[in-house]
Structures are given as structure tokens and as C-alpha cells.
Structure 1
């Protein structure tokens, strides 16, 4: 009989078998990557374009250019495109980003070709009409106005601007950039960046997948690498005060590195201890013991060119100062005291379990592959994940915290009453 008073044994995972990803060339440039998952009756196709902030002069150009793909073609208006996609039981997703932007369709296997046709139509036959752009501008300005009323949004924007001055990673949407955007601007960005793409597709796919894709996506360009003169950032405290904010939004961060850095694995384990999961030190202190917040997390955001570290939470205004003191205290503790073996083992087991589980959901494998491939990192990078995490020592965590988590080197962005 099962003894429910005893926790199940912890099974150690030593390695992971990576799924097979097919690679095919697209006509006139670009690559097609395929991961086949049978018996799901569904698929996902994603066009990952070079049209991210890194290739643009502002965030509005990226966001509106990508969204205009769904606002009308030579044969359908935006409403008709939406209705057609709905009639296929499909879902369209457009995601502007820092290094790349994407347009994706989630669909049913039986309508695979129809979905590919409409995606191809949006990419190659978008009409980019002034009337549709005017409507989209109004929508985006309204969304921006709503976001600018949220403390968490403002603190995030202010932090990135400070960390990445005069850099595309620091771009944020502005009303002025939206208003001055023209059809000519969008067409120029479309031709120079959006038409440069790779395709990632996964799910239950027909045998003729490669031929169908190559037929419908035959035009591809080579995007020009843009030279970026990045200024160094200096730590500062940014404080925005307004009585309309009920809570205080706290963002603390600094520029750091990406997955290619030699200390990447040591840092992500150190971060996990500090604030990377529900059992982290920041969560135990500020949520469970103090009751100041529903959640507090720290993360490393690795981008193509570099990355940044972020601690994020929202608390009552009266608890802002003490929260900042407790965050600093937890960082100093990591720097001055070795973590106990039992806590470190718990963190490692959680990280490895989450990593293995991250390959199990539908379309997850191709997404994991895309994350690395789009940064020019080989898929076998994941093969070393488990051993690298397991081999991080308590001494290395202390050294990593000392080297990279100096509180005085961080920018603090606060928004509250």
C-alpha cells in the first residue's frame, strides 16, 4: 500500500536525448527546420524574421511593420484574414522582439496546406494600405496609453533605457514614433529585414511538408548587419512618483552576458538560489516571511549581443524601502556565506527537472532549438546543461555572486506613489 506520509524518491537524471531536427534549404536563402511529432493532429509554423529592434531605428517601426502583415493583402482585408484563420480552427500569433520578430500559425493537420497558403499570402502579398495603418496606429496608441498607466510597465521601460542607452535593446514604444511612422518606412523595413527569415515547424506533418513550404516561401533576402555603437551604462536610481499608483513597482538590474559566456552556467545556478524559482531566497524572505508581495523573481535575460539581469517585484508603497534592504541583504548573504549542500541540491534538482520537462510539451522541442539556433549556438549546448548545473559548487556560487551581483553596480527603477 502506498505510504502517503513519505515523499517519493528523487531520481537523478544524468543526460537528455535531444530530438532530431531536420534541416532543409529554402529557395533563395534561409533555412527550414522541422521536428515531427506524430499523433497530435496539430502543427505550428513560425517564420522567424531578422526584423527585430536590432535592425530598426525604433520599436514602433518593428511592432507596426509586423502587425501590418495581418491587416490586409491584395485579396483580403484584415477582418477577412482573421475570419479565414478562424474558419480553419487556427490561431495567428505575431511577436515583435529585440533580435528577431516572428509570425506564427497554430493549426490542424487536415488544413495544413490552407494555413501555409494564408501565411504565405500575408508575407508576400500584404497591401500596406494607409487606411489600415491609420487604424492600427490608433489601436497601438490606445494600448500604449493603457500600459503607461501601469507602474510595472513604466519601471521596466525605464530600467532597460538606463541599461541600454542609445541601443536597440533599450528601445520602447512612444506615441511620437507611432505618429510619424509612414507606409514608406514600413515598406523599407519589410524589404530589408522582414523578408529575411528562417522557418521552424513542428507537429503532425504531411509527408510533403518540405515541398509545400519550399513552394510557398520562395523569396528570401539576406539581411544587412547593422553596426551598433553601444554606450556603457552607469548604475542609477530612477524614481517616478504619482499618487495614481497603488503599489510600488521595483525593478533592479544590470547589463550582463548571454549563453556564450564562460560563467553562464555558474550564474544561472546562482540566480536560481537568489530568486529564480518559488523556493528561492527572495521568495522565502519577502513573500513568505515578510508578506510584502505575491511574488518576487530574478532572471538572466540572454540576448544575441549580450544580456541583462533583473530582479522584479511589486509591493505596497510603505514596504518599498524595507524590500530594497532585504533584497540587498540576500545578495550580501550569498556573497559572504557558503550555501548549504541540502539547499544547493534542492535547487539543482529543480533546475534539472524543469529543464527536462521543458522538452515535453507540444511544440517545445522546436522552440528550444530555435532559441539556440537563432543565436548561432549549436543544439548540443543542451547536452551539457545537466552536467554543468550539477558541477556548480557552493564556492563557485559565492564567487559568482561576488563578481556579478555587486548591489552598488545595479540600476534601481522605482514607480509608486
Structure 2
């Protein structure tokens, strides 16, 4: 889905696991409860040696010996995605879907059988800035997997029958996506924050998708799925000499193509209130936020620490306030969402209709409190331990380490960031966290989106800060 099919550079684990981890990691004050024993010193993440080389056509390759399980992940990541759709909405989504459904040498069935015989399956994914083709197979088949992956990327063969089926499925799913209040709020939020930049468009236009031709899909692949914009990562337990030889032979014929640059959004943050009517809705969906500095900025790590404390974890201040104490909502969350040369801070919550105004008042109160009062050392330490432990645990999987390496590359960050991230997190002080909240979370520059019944509008003007900022 254009703008919603996120490239999985995600730092999330399963909800139940995160909940359990957060409950164990935090050492926050609680009345009439005994505090858990102090946690150990956070440990840094250590990456095993990597081997990097580049093919003559410009394809970058990284071999990562990782783990002890006899499995290997091959992921061909390309610097392309919805950002390159232009006027051809979702052409990236449909192109990558069809890449796995047949080549000039194999049928869809033969592709699936070849992958299954290696103990794995083929996957594809399209995101805003990056997309990939992937195979996860038994280690003994690393060479065969490289050949299959190269076949998918190089020997593309689209049919009109496949295009028609893919378009119909996409449009059906798109209709469902557009109907949910959370996605409606997200679409409105990014449209306001990013204005005329490609990042502003979340949903594809059904009529544009239906008009896509085979030539459109073929042209997208020819222009964008090229060696100079791609990076092949191979992670796991495997024979590196065998892998390197197989890659050089299989991908030598991949077209080199040309690199391209992405422009940064230029719209300045301005206060804007967007109300989307949803008659008789028992809940209001809220999104409050603004653009912040991107991942290449020196403040970015601190912003993520600040966000985790404020609203980005189960034990965060906003969640504790409007979920645990007030009961306005079940699963509020804030996040620093990163894109190439851009990022946003967003607080979202689905609250009961009658609590629309009060919930926003409490969110604003917590933002202002953090801006004016530094957290205690004990509170901040709990969150730093949580972030540190989660970071190391997440990077214990092959796919996760590939995610991290691509994240560094796409944002122009050094490899050392992977191993010193925990130190950077734990170097943050209470005063720095408060200063970052004051510097970046300025209410008079935030976009507020409310999806709900018209009756809740009156509650917004009852919140003094909202009345002043949005001229209610």
C-alpha cells in the first residue's frame, strides 16, 4: 500500500514480549510496592566481522557471519519505493509483487518449489524509501539461493493476467485501508506536515492504480531495480567463499543503472487542526505531532530516548497518565518515525469520545512538564536500561541486523553507530532530555488530527492550549 507498506527497519518486538520486558526493566516509583532489584550494567551490541565488496556493475555486497543456526538470509535491498512512484501511484508495490510471480526462466510455481527445496521461501517488500527481495534458506544452499534471487531481480517477466489480478487485489485492500480512522488520521497528518513532498501522499488513487500498464511496471523495474542503487546482504552461518563466488557469478548481469538523490522536505512546521467527521463514532482517533530532525542529526538518538520516556513505551508518562490513571484509552503510543532526510514525532491514541478534550489536555500537560522539569535520574535510568536491552535483543536475529545496516547506510551513518548506540543512549542526562523536549516539541508548530463525531469539537475549544494555538 502506498505509504503504508513500511520497509521493515522496525525496532519492535511482539507486543506481549515488549510488555513483559518493560515491566521487568523499569525501576519506577510505585506506592505500596517493592521496587525490583537494580538491573545490571547495560551491555553494548557487538557485530561480528563483515566482509564487503562491490561488483563491477556497482552492486554492493556485505557478508555477515552471524549466529550458530544453519540458516542464512539473503536480502537484496534497493534504494527505491513509493518515493519513486511519481504520478504512477503504487507502481512500486505492484512491480515488486510481480517480481516473485515468474521470470523468463521460471514460473511462479517453479520459484516457490525452488525456494521450498532450499528450506525457505521468497519474500518481497516495498516501503517509502527502500524495497527488497529476500530468501531465507538452509546454509548449504547459499549459492543456489543467490542464483534464484538474481533470477528474480534480473530476468523479470510480467504478464497482463498477473497485472490484472495484482491491481484488483491491491484496490480491494486499499478500500479497506482507507476506511479505518487510524489510517485516515495518518494520511491527513503526513499530508499536512510534508505538503507537496512525495512523503505527503499516504494513499494511492484507485483510478490511477487501475490505469497502470505492463509498460509502467516494466519501466519502473528497469529504472529503479539496478545495481548502483542496490545492496545485497547475506547474514547467517555459511561458507563465505562459496557465497562470494556465487554472488559474483549470479549478479554480474544485473544492470548498473544510475543513482539518484532524494530532496528533503522544505515545509516549515505550522500549527494546523484537521477534523475528519466520523458520525456516531464511540471513539476519537487523535494524532498530534510535527516534523523533527532526521536520523543523521546529532540530536536524533536523544530524541528517541526522550520519546520513549514521554510516550513511546508501556511505562511512559503519557501512557501511564491517559491509560493507567485516567482510563481514556487502551493503547496510546508516540514515536519518532524516520524517513530518508526527514522524521516526525507523533503521539497517537484512540480515546473514548467523551474523553477527547481531557485526553489531549493530559498529553499537552505531560509534554509541558517534561519541557520544564527534568526527569529524575532514577526514572531516566529505567528507560535507558529498557532501550539498551531491547536494542541488543532485537539485533539477535539475521533480519534485524540487516535492517540496522541498511538504516545506517541510507542515513549516511558510520558502522560504528551500531556498536556505540547503547553508549550514546546511556550518556543522555535528565537535563538533556528536558532540553530536547523544549527544543523540538513546540505545540504552536504541531499538527493535530482528530477523527470522530462532530459533537467532540466543543471539547477541543475547552482546552486552553488548543484554543490559543488553533484559534478555536
Q: How does 1:34-53 map to 2 (within 5 A)?
A: 34-37=63-66, 39-53=68-82
Q: Could you say which residue in structure 2 is the equivalent of 1:213?
A: 247
**Cα separation, 1, equivalents of 2:215 and 2:90:** 14
User: Aligned pair 1:119/2:152, yes or no?
Assistant: no
Cα deviation code 1:341-377 (max 9, x no counterpart): 2111211221222222222234433332221123221
User: Aligned pair 1:384/2:420, yes or no?
Assistant: yes
Unpaired segments of 5 or more residues in structure 1? none
**Cα separation, 2, equivalents of 1:357 and 1:230:** 34
**Cα separation, 2, equivalents of 1:30 and 1:121:** 15
1:251 counterpart SS class? strand
**Cα separation, 2, equivalents of 1:309 and 1:159:** 11
Distance 1:60 1:92, change over 3 A: same
Shift of residue 408, structure 1, vs aligned partner: 2.1
Distance 1:84 1:150, change over 3 A: farther
C-alpha RMSD of the superposition = 2.2
Cα deviation code 1:85-127 (max 9, x no counterpart): 3454313322211221111122222333333333222211221
8 Å CA contact 1:50–1:99 kept in 2: the answer is yes
Q: Could you say which residue in structure 1 is the equivalent of 2:236?
A: 203
**Cα separation, 2, equivalents of 1:38 and 1:270:** 32
Q: How does 1:280-359 map to 2 (within 5 A)?
A: 280-359=316-395
**Cα separation, 2, equivalents of 1:134 and 1:162:** 33
Cα deviation code 1:359-414 (max 9, x no counterpart): 22344333322211232211102333233222222222222111111122111122
**Cα separation, 1, equivalents of 2:243 and 2:178:** 44
Distance 1:261 1:226, change over 3 A: closer
User: Aligned pair 1:176/2:212, yes or no?
Assistant: no
Shift of residue 80, structure 1, vs aligned partner: 4.6
Q: Could you say which residue in structure 2 is the equivalent of 1:270?
A: 306
Distance 1:246 1:212, change over 3 A: farther
**Cα separation, 2, equivalents of 1:159 and 1:100:** 22
**Cα separation, 2, equivalents of 1:88 and 1:245:** 50
Normalising to structure 1: TM-score of the pair? 0.92
Distance 1:6 1:338, change over 3 A: closer
Q: Could you say which residue in structure 2 is the equivalent of 1:232?
A: 267
Distance 1:229 1:209, change over 3 A: closer
User: Aligned pair 1:29/2:62, yes or no?
Assistant: no
Q: Which moved more, 1:280-289 or 1:299-308?
A: 299-308
**Cα separation, 2, equivalents of 1:393 and 1:416:** 39
Distance 1:268 1:314, change over 3 A: same
8 Å CA contact 2:333–2:348 kept in 1: the answer is yes
Distance 1:125 1:297, change over 3 A: same
Distance 1:36 1:184, change over 3 A: same
**Cα separation, 2, equivalents of 1:12 and 1:165:** 45
**Cα separation, 1, equivalents of 2:402 and 2:48:** 9
Q: Could you say which residue in structure 1 is the equivalent of 2:397?
A: 361
1:367 counterpart SS class? helix
8 Å CA contact 2:284–2:352 kept in 1: the answer is yes
Q: Could you say which residue in structure 2 is the equivalent of 1:17?
A: 46
Distance 1:323 1:91, change over 3 A: farther
Distance 1:33 1:413, change over 3 A: same
Distance 1:331 1:96, change over 3 A: same
Q: Could you say which residue in structure 1 is the equivalent of 2:140?
A: 110
Q: Could you say which residue in structure 2 is the equivalent of 1:185?
A: 216
Q: Which moved more, 1:353-362 or 1:297-306?
A: 353-362
**Cα separation, 2, equivalents of 1:372 and 1:37:** 18
2:324 counterpart SS class? helix
8 Å CA contact 2:404–2:418 kept in 1: the answer is no
- Among residues 89, 101, 106, which one is paired with 1:71 in the alignment? 101
8 Å CA contact 1:287–1:296 kept in 2: the answer is yes
**Cα separation, 1, equivalents of 2:277 and 2:346:** 21
Q: Could you say which residue in structure 2 is the equivalent of 1:156?
A: 186
**Cα separation, 2, equivalents of 1:268 and 1:389:** 9
Cα deviation code 1:65-84 (max 9, x no counterpart): 22121232224443553454
Shift of residue 199, structure 1, vs aligned partner: 0.4
2:311 counterpart SS class? helix
**Cα separation, 2, equivalents of 1:402 and 1:250:** 22
Unpaired segments of 5 or more residues in structure 2? 1-33, 454-472
